[in-house]
Structure 1
């Protein structure tokens, strides 16, 4: 005896529901956390102390003097940006540029982004921040006076690290604080790059489950998410079709309900 349309639609709907049910639950949990969370707390804004303003009384060196000094010491191809920043109460120039290096007997060149710091008053180049300087920079930007719990020097990160796709090398300074906050200071840039706390970490984990990007967490156009989205539509439409067919059968034959139950 040939099986009815009810059988195949019910079977497809049942198995798709089992497969997608867990992911639907994760999407719902993530959506609830996202919508009920205070994003200022997730971003750690309550922990951040605003950087001090630079004094206007200092006579600053010309940026061209610093650029000439860098050109003499490094094979700079071009400069990308120059910015006046504050580091531990003193003004500094932060310069970014592209250096070139010959390869293969001088016929090929490798390009690399580089960063330099220079004292904005004397014009002298400054080396990257030391561990002690990075701790002091992080402490001055962190609201309150918590104790330092641990310090880690990062030279590489993967796609799951909370400091992923950010300037390296960097110091990760974790404070003894209920929020479990870590402040990341890029040693060559001389500035704080990110604040990370436990609420952000929960948000980031749920975001990975939400986007189904288990490699870099931020690709919302990955193949797995597209497939599950299509399967979700099929599940919904199969439910509508099952209801429509069952409704018509009920109209034609009152006994159809007992036959397919």
Structure 2
């Protein structure tokens, strides 16, 4: 690899997708008297190792995020999104991902660990951003939404990122069969026009809010393009938790706190809140 190409690859891995032996993290521990699984505390080295071990911890439990109001001028149609965490969590993380993006792999386990570390405070919502530079991205995104319709989004999400070279239709069908899905329904849903329209819409939505490269994150209105490290994202969460606490103290209902925190997050806050949230009543 010549010096110019090597520099390009290193820059891509540090920022995001655009036009060795890994020490696995400690297993999660169950909080006494609850069904919530809390992760064991990890060292900085173990947190870094998470970035190279997608699928090494149990999959998250699927929740459903309702579709947001369509943004005028964007192609496609919004649809329900896979999520994890309480619907009234004070911090909302929207993660725009591409299943062929080598940088998105690094966010898989850290985001799961973050969600489990803040089980009452953080809700993670996945949005598809199928980049045109990746030939199979839209098809794999459709497969993930097909699995979502059968309650197995997170399981397929983990398998896809753990096996980056296996993206053909026969691979997707094999994953569906291994996960115990209704394979005939899975194939129909992959080809469903509504699924294709949702992938198209969410990819256009990412570009409209300046998150075209992947991964893209929105943490209550704080945007981040690319993946830096776990500590950076956790610091965003901590700051947003403090802002959310102050908003809640003004009498805002819990179900509206994350929405209001996003709406009040700066010059583009109104745009982000309108584009991302199914506005809570």
Scaled to the shorter chain, the TM-score interval is: under 0.3
Larger radius of gyration: 1
The structure with higher relative contact order (CA 8 Å, sep 6+) is 2
Normalised to the residue count of structure 2, the TM-score between the two structures is 0.22
